[in-house]
Structure 1
């Protein structure tokens, strides 16, 4: 019980999905429930924002066509909420809404998903937690050897342990000025922490694990979103956002290079 005069604690955010779409069917709700997640369904944009502020969901599925406030407006408002930058936001697009995909991604949607919803697709796009992605065996060692062969002295696929000199932490990747710590879910640029949402964190992790090599678009979509059956514009938008977070500008070489017709490569310094 909460003592008299004491504010009730905020609702817990763990394991909650908010669906802002009155057309969402029971099969989708049941699929999330089978994953052990709580689901809240609302039918308009204003209520979606109220519930997001109250509940702090991990994932929000928003229909592009909502009464009161449309889906893109909801996405933009969600991204502007303090402490809500890391939630996964999926924008549902019906056959007549496809033109809104780019605007939705620019507003801050993690990905777009077609309506009527395919349960497997929505679950894949909602994705696992960032720490569920396990590097392939030997990735850290192979990347370190590759960097050494190129004469890159400041590349590290780990860090020196605080207690044991020379101990390598396989959960920390460092390429040039960028450090990604999987365990702390933290990215630093020149030692300064940078806020990176979960989807972009996964994307950066995959690229750093393979620094210096081109990663095909299809592989990035599979590893980060769980499916290659997506509009490649989704990937391009996330790469642009990630470049900005890493401090890339038009006047400086991009840390993430686009290889036309193939994919992306994290540039070794």
Structure 2
């Protein structure tokens, strides 16, 4: 394994990047099942994502695509996230986020010292990643705040407002985030696993939290609690939002 140099890196930019209207993110993570839910959610936010599990492949993709940013796990064997961050920053000025998991506490300091833009929790949550990407390239992320309309339901993430048939519906933060996620995937089933990773950064529901939030959202939307027609339970899988 490579040793991280002690001195802070100096940014050496590559040739000018091709102008884009959409943000391009490369995710380097040895566990594809951890990266995929985030990649799917980011694509719903009009962000282009490439997922790789090998650090050498990640560096090749960076050279070929010149992405706007890279998200790497703290460990992508045989390299560490701090080594990757230093290489990308010093050789190409690529902003790098490093995912820190429950057992990676000692990696945050070296990663930041190596030039990482920030450290984010791993498993990844959309709510943690989007603000970081918005800061990195505000000229290509206007879609992050796009109003979402599904039938008579309208959600404005910038104003933190939800309207149903013109009537404003007040929701606390977690319910707002959950409804936003479901509306972005309207007509598609989101598994409980995906929802927990993206909203609560958990593998599974051990406290019935998701069920409670779903019931509360249904009540606020005036959905039938016994036979819902907006927020649908799909037995054994998860939930689907249908246009009201």
Tell me the TM-score normalised to structure 1 length: 0.41
The structure whose RCO (Cα within 8 Å, separation 6+) is larger is: 2
Tell me the TM-score normalised to structure 2 length: 0.45
